[in-house]
Amino acid sequence: MSDSSTAAIQISHVSKSFGQGQALVEALKDVSLEAFLGEMFFLVGPSGCGKTTLLSILCSTLKPTSGNVKVFGTDLTASSNRHLTRFRREHVGFVFQQFNLISTLTITENVSVPLLLAGAGTGKANRLAKEALDRVGLGDKIALRPGKLSGGQQQRVAIARALVHSPDLIVCDEPTSALDSETGHQIMEILDEVARDAKRCVIVVTHDPRILGFADRLAEMEDGRILNITTGTAHAAGLGK
Amino acid sequence: MITLALRMLFNDRAKYLMLVSGVAFASLLMIQQSGVFCGLMSWTYSSLRNLRAPIWVMGPKVEQVNDPKPLRDTDVFRVRSIDGVAWAAPLYTGNVQGRLPNGNFKLVQLVGLDNNTFTGAPGPEKFLAGSLDALRLPNTVIIDDFAVQRLSDGLTHPDGTPRKIGIGDVFDINDHEARVVGIIKAYRSFTGGPYVFTTYDRALQYAPPTRRMLSFVLAAPAEGMDPAIVAGRITRESGLRAQTEAEFRNETLFWFVKNTGIPVSFGTTVLLGLIVGLVISGQTYYTFILENARSIAAFKAMGASMSLLVRMLITQSVVAGLIGFGIGVGLSAGFGFLTAPKGQPPFYLLPEILFGVGGFILLITISAALLGIIKVARMDPDTVFRG
């Protein structure tokens, strides 16, 4: 479960609005939460409730309109764009809904991207990328391009890419929505292992009820607000699991 | 990351080939047309390349070498008398009709060299057959290699098969016999007539008579003297106009640039090449960026700095541009090699053309990359989370 001694993520009274005047949309309204290392934290809710906006803010790809965001002690709201870019490079791993693998590169090259961005040499990056692919069970497919893999295999490549540079925070945007139930389960097991064994903070945005049992804690969102935060087991029990 | 950027481009075969083809086609168009333009322009001063003299003396109203205003024969002596002139010799140049054995007429560029010294004549290295000294024999001419093609109509072997004109063959110029005693390699004349060299006096017999027949006086400065200074002195003291070979060549060249539509015509094609290259490569590269927008946004999300992305985009574009440029240069050179034996169309590939077109290609590729860079700069990293 969570390492409750230090909060990896502290979000206090965060609001985010887009547009202005008549077109003003308040995507987040006074949101506060904490997440911890070793914890698998889920953001759930209907489409348009603000969960992806919150995910973007806590991984620093988006700045809040107001409020404070601290991730691993770094105040993201007070940081320059340059600093935020470096922060993401060093501390965040991404798993996207559509995988976002580059179709013209091999999966090894795809996985090596975060290491190359961090300044690693090609040789070292390729070696570590192969190790990461091995860890997600794709060690025999290192020379293939993403187009030759199934959806589940592509998502495993994306997880390998998210892990390869050993980030403290892994953000997953709908990681199972494009996958069948069994593959989605396998993907979540890998992420679960990442969160628990490596003491990382894994934030998952989802509206896939099949995977909610993997959550340590779960924030239910609606209309830009967090309605409540429950433990994953309690939520699963509520769903009849 | 730069290597990965290149692999992204190379592995997207369709876009890569389209991009390289666009640049290659633009390069080919610009280099080939510029080369033909320079070749054509070099024909305008062929007489200055075939007849070498440090100083050319001409009538005061002469604007270019192909349009002499005849001088008096005594002007040669006036030039010789000027201090600093080592020697001066008469030269006749003009277009006359040559009559071939089959009765056909062909325009030739007649050149009359000084009877005794043959001043200005092409050097022995230019001779493909015969010799200059043979011009001392009566009714003799030396023709160029182009004349071999142009003046061979109607010549046959005893068995009736066609043959080329050669040493000993005879044709008429203005009803006077012209016996070929030499064949030289010469630069093609702008008017398209082959060069026929003979002595000055014989040229006057061949050419239709006018009151004045002397076209130019070829001169040289005394040893150690600057040709430009001596040319200036000739101009001041004789009332004629004297120019160094280089000055006269440039003046001839710029006369054609100013007074003919040739530069505009070729310039338009070169401009079209530039625009076509810009449009094809710009559009293709922009499509490439659009299709990779989510990947690039993912790079941004994962912590790629804007400067790294700019370097990646410029490298992709410039490398594709350089490969296309290389192919374009190769194709242009191939065109040059194919046309060189016939000499038509003229193709003169100056290093300046390559540098100039290379600069244009760099401009095209950087402009194409700039379109992508603007797109990427406006891309928020959180785009990657949105559908």
Question: For residue A198, what pLDDT is reported?
Answer: 65
Kindly indicate the confidence band of residue A3, based on its pLDDT and cuts at 50, 70 and 90. Answer: very low
Residue A235 has pLDDT above 70, yes or no: no
Q: Which of A131, A129, A137 is nearest to A107 (CA)?
A: A129
- Does B299 sit within 8 Å of A85, measured CB to CB? no
pLDDT tens-place string over residues A113-144: 999 988 888 899 999 999 889 888 888 888 89
Contacts from A133-136 at CB under 8 Å and sequence distance 24+? A133/A107, A133/A108, A133/A157, A133/A160, A135/A160, A135/A163, A136/A160, A136/A190
pLDDT tens-place string over residues A158-175: 888 988 888 888 888 888
Polymer length of chain B: 387
Chain B closest-CA separation from residue A240 CA (Å): 31
pLDDT tens-place string over residues B97-134: 888 878 888 899 999 999 999 998 988 899 999 999 99
Strand A74-75 and strand A92-95: the pairing is unpaired
Kindly indicate the confidence band of residue B71, based on its pLDDT and cuts at 50, 70 and 90. Answer: very high
pLDDT tens-place string over residues B22-69: 888 888 888 888 888 888 888 899 999 999 899 999 999 999 998 899
pLDDT tens-place string over residues A83-111: 888 888 888 888 887 788 888 889 999 99
pLDDT tens-place string over residues A58-79: 888 888 999 999 888 888 888 8
Question: For residue A241, what pLDDT is reported?
Answer: 40
pLDDT tens-place string over residues A24-54: 888 899 999 988 888 889 999 888 888 889 9
Closest CB from B3, B292, B301 relative to A94: B301
- Does A90 sit within 8 Å of B303, measured CB to CB? yes
Closest CB from A85, A88, A104 relative to B8: A104
Question: For residue A232, what pLDDT is reported?
Answer: 66
Question: For residue B53, what pLDDT is reported?
Answer: 92
- Chain B residue closest in CA terms to A120: B1
ipTM value for the complex:
0.79
Please give the Cα distance from B348 to B43 (Å, whole number).
10
Question: For residue A236, what pLDDT is reported?
Answer: 54
Q: Which of B362, B350, B296, B277 is nearest to B31 (CA)?
A: B350
pLDDT tens-place string over residues B172-200: 998 899 999 999 999 888 888 899 999 99
Polymer length of chain A: 241
**Which of B9, B10, B300, B302 is the best residue to mutate to test the A interface, defined by the most A CB atoms within 10 Å of its own CB?**
B302
pLDDT tens-place string over residues B249-269: 999 999 998 988 888 888 888
Question: For residue A233, what pLDDT is reported?
Answer: 62
| Helix (H) or strand (E) segment spanning residue A127 | helix A122-135
Q: What is the mean pLDDT of chain B?
A: 88
